[in-house]
Amino acid sequence: MKHGTLHPTSIFIREAVSVFEELGFDVFEGPEVETEWYNFDALNVPADHPSRDVQDTFWLKDGRALRPHTSNCQVRYGETHEPPFRVIVPGRCFRNESTDARHETTFYQLEGLYVDRDVKVGHLMWTLSTFLEKLYGKEIKYRFRPHHYPFVEPGFDVDIMFGGKWMEILGSGMVHPSVLENMNIDSEKFTGFAFGLGIDRLVMLKYGITDIRQLYSNDLRFIKQF
Amino acid sequence: MKISKNWLKDYIEINEDDDKLVDHLNATGTEVDEMISSVVFDDKVVVAEILKIDRHPNADRLQIATVTDGSDEFIVVCGAPNIAVGQKVPFAKIGAKLPDFEIKKAEIRGVESFGMLCAADELGLGTDHSGIIILEKECELGQPYSHYIKGDTVFDLEITTNRGDCLNHIGMAREIAVFEELPEIQLPTISLSETSEEAKDLITVTVEDSMACPQYTARVVKNIKIGPSPEWLRERLVACGVRSINNVVDITNYIMLDLGQPLHAFDLKKVAKGKIEVRFARTDETILTLDGALCKLTPEVLVIADIEKPIAIAGIMGGAESEIDEKTVDIVIEAAEFDRKVVRRGKKIINISSEASYRFERGIDSEKVEYALNKAAKMMSDLCSGEIAKGIVSAGNQITRSTIKIEYDKIATILGLDISAPEMDSILTRLGFSIDKGVATIPSWRHDILLWQDLIEEVGRIHGYDKIKPLPLVKIDKPEVTVFAAKEYLKDLLVECGFSEVKNYSFMSEKDTALSGLDCSELLEVANPLQPENKYMRPTLLPLMLKNVAQNSTFDPILIFEIGQVFTSDSEKTNLTIIASGKNAKSEIDTAVKTLTEKVPALRLDIESLETDRLNKYKIRKPAVYFIDLDLSAVCEKIKVPADISISSRTEKNITYRPVSKYPSVTRDLAFIVDKDLPSEDLVNEIYGISPEINRVELFDEFASDKFGENKKNVAYHIYLQYMDRTMSDADADAIVKSIIEMVEEKHHGQLRK
């Protein structure tokens, strides 16, 4: 009769993971404390480039950092697996900023990576639209919009229509050749796509939660509703 | 980055309506954060002239202006410092509707006021509240002010770090011209009238390191008159969110927003001997910057110096001692190209960033430096009556453009588009590349194009990504069971035993570590926390979970668990911690252990209990707290997740979320005797329907027995009552509880158990 409850973020991640498992994606989880190499350099984000400023990073006293995205696992997974491979990485990430109802130091992402011969932009589009339609039904409206991320080329943002407005939910693109090289994969032979989905806002939308901090409040009045 | 549509029209003719233009910008990679269309004014805001200004008898900061609209005179109380007799100003008459309010007759500190003289922000023309808008002399008295305002639309754009060339109007006009298929932009030629005096006799320029400063150009403009900028210039700056300062400063800002070239103006008399030197700072040199701070320089910071000392930090900020002021007569205008990495390094060392450094870091148009200098000089002559000395004094050269071989086939293949080489050439040519036999020369303003792969995006976004057909992935099997699945399986088992999952922050504050008696020297420490809560990384899950127990004191029992990463200075592990506290805590945790070890024999679980003094420290008022603390790192791979357990199986529950108040709630327990076949869940929903203040109804007991009567059962609920905006009082809670009881009695003939 009495049941405990799963955290709403866990519920959402499980739904997302199970959709990608059906598509044959492996599930990998990497470290939250990460070296500068996997967080930035290996992803074609050099220290002398302004793209490094985009993330407000928590640096540790030992020179490592809390990962600002799950993309740290792209090269971690890629360098230990022979292509072709497809993998998703759900996990906790960190942003060094002041918190309010819309901003949190702690958030979850779901990273995706697919490397094979002849991977094309169309594969990326098919995979993400299949995911969105499984999650939200065929009637979901979405659009791909060009966007720049240093670790992909070309890059895209994906927006979904929610409450009459476009809402950005993920960044994606074709894996940059220098990122493939950092996985010791020949970028002349292989191509790939990658994406990073922001989880927390989608959890909030799903249940109508208006304050992001609730997700980490551990107020049982909140927790026991799920 | 704010871009004004009126400004763009200097370069292109825009026929699309604003919404379409926004769609096209988004579709080609320029994200539009916001579109601001200028407001339409009420015709009761008219042009008036100030006839007389008197001091307010009762307030030092207020003045009493007498104004005329050509036919009547009005008395207006005004607080702005910038009004003077003879000025024409926008005057809102009584009854005028402004964006935020309507003008009414008012008495201000004992003086009646019949209308208002308007500042820009009051009319919805931006945020400037520094003074009343002063109109051109030509404006006709009594005419609606709206006749003198050109309607404009401002687009607030998110320009990604790779597209520094879009941080200005010419760049955005070029971008729009490509996707709207407009004619190529031709920059108007600038004809200057120069005096016979040679600039090179007034200043000299030397560059120490041509890598750090590939080109430096300067002009001298003499006898300038510093004053306010004309209305059109101020309007454009305000539209882009830039404050108007004076004509010289405004012109340098204008050129930056127009052409993307940051400029700097020095007071010629403050440049010792007119000798300008671009060099790295010497050890222990300092400079007083424009914002008034004394800045310590290091030999990695590039500066502009005269023969005595640094007078500006190259590409970042000017120095206060060579600043233009109201006494300035002759100026030096600098237009230069500084190395992106040098500016970035300098910015980091001195910890100052500016609109100029933002653009230099992203790269400027190497071939438009001189053009920008000339345009600025022309404006200084037109708007500040300056006399332009003959010639440009310069050092260095434009950077030569690099080339890329276009991999036509590979680009078409990756895009999955049937697009021919001539079509690609045409797109790239429109974007400013020059193509010769399959080799593209990169435009001087594009610093983001380095590889043939970078051309995929250019071709794709202009050709249209919507033309790409989705391609299914080859079907392959689901992956083998993963560590992720093992952890989720453990969560399911715990949820079945009545435990709820919590997620705490990975951080601990100094206070948290003291409370739990941790040795901070063994913890992983954050170097740059913005908030004190984020100082250390948690070494175990227990301390923060004990805070959860304390915080949820109205619940009994409290059964929670967390799976998460924990850290020490040399390790990161995955832990599982389970806590049971309050009523039947021991038997609850025993059941959990039994279930877990039955299903997962690999687990070794030890129940520990918390001593009273630790409970007191955490202000936990429950008699007993039991916990299990487990390192999952080694165990997860040994866990056999049964094949028939799907990790999505428990997620289909239909949940209606009810917001949780930040104010304390009241808990009441109610038990009823009702018909045995009345589903207890239906009753839960009906109770929710009684009042929006009911946050949660939780069934905690249900059993049938003959002692309640034939076909009767007992149901018991915890009911949580809250207000979103204040603390719930007992009296209010009683009233809601009474309604619940009445509903159950009347609708279901239930009986409250006392």
Strands B500-501 and B403-405: unpaired
**Domain B45-148 maps to which CATH number in 2.30.30.90, 3.40.50.300, 2.40.50.140, 2.30.30.40?**
2.40.50.140
Minimum Cα–Cα distance from B469: chain A residue:
A122
Strands B500-501 and B558-568: parallel
Which of B157, B409, B500 should we substitute to test contact with A (largest number of A Cβ atoms within 10 Å)? Answer: B500
Task: Give me the CATH number covering residue A122.
Answer: 3.30.930.10
**Alpha helices, DSSP H only, in chain A?**
8-22, 36-39, 72-78, 121-136, 177-182, 200-207, 220-223
Domain boundaries, chain B: 2-38+153-179, 45-148, 194-396, 403-467, 483-638, 666-752
Q: Do the Cβ atoms of B479 and A25 come within 8 Å? A: yes
Of B560, B646, B659, the CB nearest to A18: B646
Q: Could you read off the pLDDT of B233-265 as tens digits, one per residue?
A: 988 998 898 988 899 999 999 999 999 999 999
Determine the distance in angstroms separating the CA of A180 from the nearest CA of chain B, rounded to an integer.
13
Nearest to B208 by CA among B283, B301, B290, B297: B301
Name chain A contacts of B485, Cβ cutoff 8 Å.
27
Identity of the residue in B471, B648, B660 whose CB atom sits nearest the CB atom of A221 = B660
CB spacing of A208 vs B460 below 8 angstroms = no
Residue B131, token pair as written in the block: 């003074």
Cα(B691)–Cα(B743) distance, rounded to whole angstroms? Answer: 12
pLDDT single digits (tens) B58-67? 888 889 999 9
Confidence of residue A1 (pLDDT cuts 50, 70, 90): very low
Q: Using one digit for the tens of pLDDT, what is the confidence trace for A142-153?
A: 999 999 999 999
Whether residue B692 contacts residue B701, with contact meaning beta carbons closer than 8 Å, is answered with no
Q: What is the pLDDT of residues B682-727, one digit of tens each?
A: 888 889 888 888 888 888 888 888 888 888 899 999 898 999 888 9
B569 chain-A contacts, CB cut-off 8 A:
62
Over the stretch B655-664, which tens digit does the pLDDT of each residue have? Answer: 778 888 888 8
Instruction: Tell me the mean pLDDT in the region A167-188.
Output: 96
CB contact (8 A) between residue B524 and residue A62: yes
In this complex, the residue of B345, B471, B503 whose CB is nearest that of residue A216 is B503
Helices (H), B311-407: 340-350, 355-362, 369-383
Instruction: Tell me, yes or no, whether A30 lies in a domain.
Output: yes
> Do the domains B45-148 and B194-396 sit in the same CATH topology, yes or no?
no
Report yes or no: B567 at the A interface, CB cutoff 8 Å: yes
User: Average pLDDT, stretch A205-213?
Assistant: 91
- Within 8 A of A145 by CB-CB distance, chain B residues are 26-27, 29, 31
In angstroms, what separates the C-alpha of A181 from chain B's closest C-alpha?
14
Inter-chain CB proximity A146 and B461 less than 8 Å: yes
> How many contacts, defined by CB atoms under 8 Å, are there between A and B?
260
Contact B165, B171 (CB under 8 A): yes
Which of B161, B559, B695 is facing A50, going by the closest CB pair? B161
With 0-12 / 13-18 / 19 or more C-beta atoms within 10 angstroms meaning exposed / middle / buried, residue B188 is: exposed
Looking at the domain B666-752, which fold is it? Alpha-Beta Plaits (3.30.70)
Beta-carbon contacts of residue B218 (< 8 Å; ≥ 6 apart): B199, B203, B205, B276, B332, B333, B334, B335, B373, B392, B393, B394
DSSP string covering B620-662:
--SS-EEEEEEE-TTTGGG----TT--TTGGG-------PPPS
**Angle (CA) A152 A155 A159, round 5°:** 135
How many structural domains does chain A have? 1
Please report the pLDDT score of residue B134 as a whole number.
86
d(C-alpha B245, C-alpha A199), whole Å: 45
Judge whether B409 is closer than 8 Å to chain A, CB to CB.
Answer: no
**Among partner residues B344, B358, B655, which is closest to A48 by beta-carbon distance?**
B344
> Exposure pattern of A24-37 as b/e (b: 16+ CB <10 Å)?
bbbbbbbbbbbbbe
Instruction: Say how many Å lie between the first and final Cα of chain A, rounded.
Output: 15
Residue B649 sits at the chain A interface (C-beta within 8 Å): no
Distance CA A187, CA B198 (A): 57
pLDDT score recorded for residue B126: 58
Query: Is residue A137 one of the residues assigned to a domain?
Result: yes
Spatial distance between the Cα atoms of B249 and B360, rounded to a whole number of angstroms? 19
Q: What is the pLDDT of residues B5-27, one digit of tens each?
A: 999 999 999 988 899 999 999 99
- Average pLDDT score over chain B: 91
ipTM of the complex: 0.96
**Å between B57 CA and nearest CA of chain A:** 46
> What CATH architecture does domain B194-396 belong to?
3-Layer(bba) Sandwich (3.50)
Q: How many angstroms separate the CA of residue B560 from the nearest CA in chain A?
A: 8
In a domain, A44, yes or no: yes
Residue A162, domain member (yes or no):
no
Q: Is A15 in the B-facing interface, judged by CB distances under 8 Å?
A: yes
- SS3 category, B266: strand
Distance from CA of A39 to the nearest CA of B (A): 16
* Burial classification of residue B505, based on how many CB atoms lie within 10 Å of its CB (0-12 exposed, 13-18 middle, 19 or more buried): buried
Q: Nearest C-alpha of chain B: how many angstroms from A104?
A: 10
Asked if B539 reaches chain A (Cβ–Cβ under 8 Å), the answer is no
Q: Which of residues 82-101 of B touch A (CB under 8 A)?
A: none
From chain B, the residues in CB contact with A106 under 8 A are: 505-506
Sign of the four-CA dihedral B360, B364, B367, B368? negative
**Could you tell me which residues come within 8 angstroms of residue A181 by beta carbon, excluding any fewer than 6 positions away?**
A187
Cβ of B530 within 8 Å of Cβ of A219? The answer is no
Say if residue B649's pLDDT is above 70: no
B526 and A60: CB-CB below 8 Å?
yes
Taking alpha carbons only, the member of B563, B397, B588 closest to residue B489 is: B563
CATH of span B483-638: 3.30.930.10
Of B98, B103, B147, B101, whose CA–CA distance to B125 is shortest? B98
Are B530 and A98 within 8 A, CB to CB? yes
Query: What DSSP string runs through B24-52?
Result: HHHHTT-EEEEEEEPPPPPTTEEEEEEEE
Look at residue B123 in the predicted model and tell me its pLDDT.
76
Domain B403-467 has CATH 3.40.50.80: no
**Structural domain range at position A98:** 8-141+172-223
User: Mean pLDDT for chain A?
Assistant: 93
For residue B588, report the phi and psi dihedrals to the nearest 5 degrees: -65, -45
Beta-carbon separation of B161 and A148 below 8 A: yes
- Topology of domain B2-38+153-179, CATH: Phenylalanyl-tRNA Synthetase; Chain B, domain 1 (3.30.56)
Q: What is the pLDDT of residues B419-474, one digit of tens each?
A: 999 999 999 999 999 999 999 999 999 999 999 999 999 999 999 999 999 999 99
Q: Residue A105 falls within a domain, yes or no?
A: yes
Tell me: pLDDT of B32 over 50.
yes
B305 or B145, which is more confident: B305
Supply the pLDDT for residue B372.
98
B717 to chain A: closest CA residue? A2
3-state helix, strand, coil in chain A (%, to 5): 30, 30, 40
In this complex, which of B340, B475, B655 lies closest to A24 when CB atoms are compared? B475
pLDDT of residue B128: 65
B contacts of A22 (beta carbons < 8 Å): 478
Q: What is the pLDDT of residue B634?
A: 83
What residues of A are in contact with residue B344 (Cβ under 8 Å)?
48-50
Spell out where B202-309 has E strands.
Answer: 204-207, 215-222, 263-267, 275-280, 286-288, 294-296, 302-305
Helices (H) and strands (E) in chain B, counts: 18, 37
Q: Name every chain B residue with its beta carbon within 8 A of the beta carbon of A4.
A: 494-501, 559
Taking Cα atoms as reference points, which of B548, A101, A204 lies closest to residue B538?
B548
pLDDT tens-digit readout, B407-418: 999 999 999 999
Contact B472 A126 (CB under 8 A): yes
Place of tokens 């560590």: B483
For the stretch B186-238, pLDDT in tens is: 999 999 999 999 999 999 999 999 999 999 999 999 999 999 899 899 889 98
Q: Do A148 and B163 touch (CB under 8 A)?
A: yes
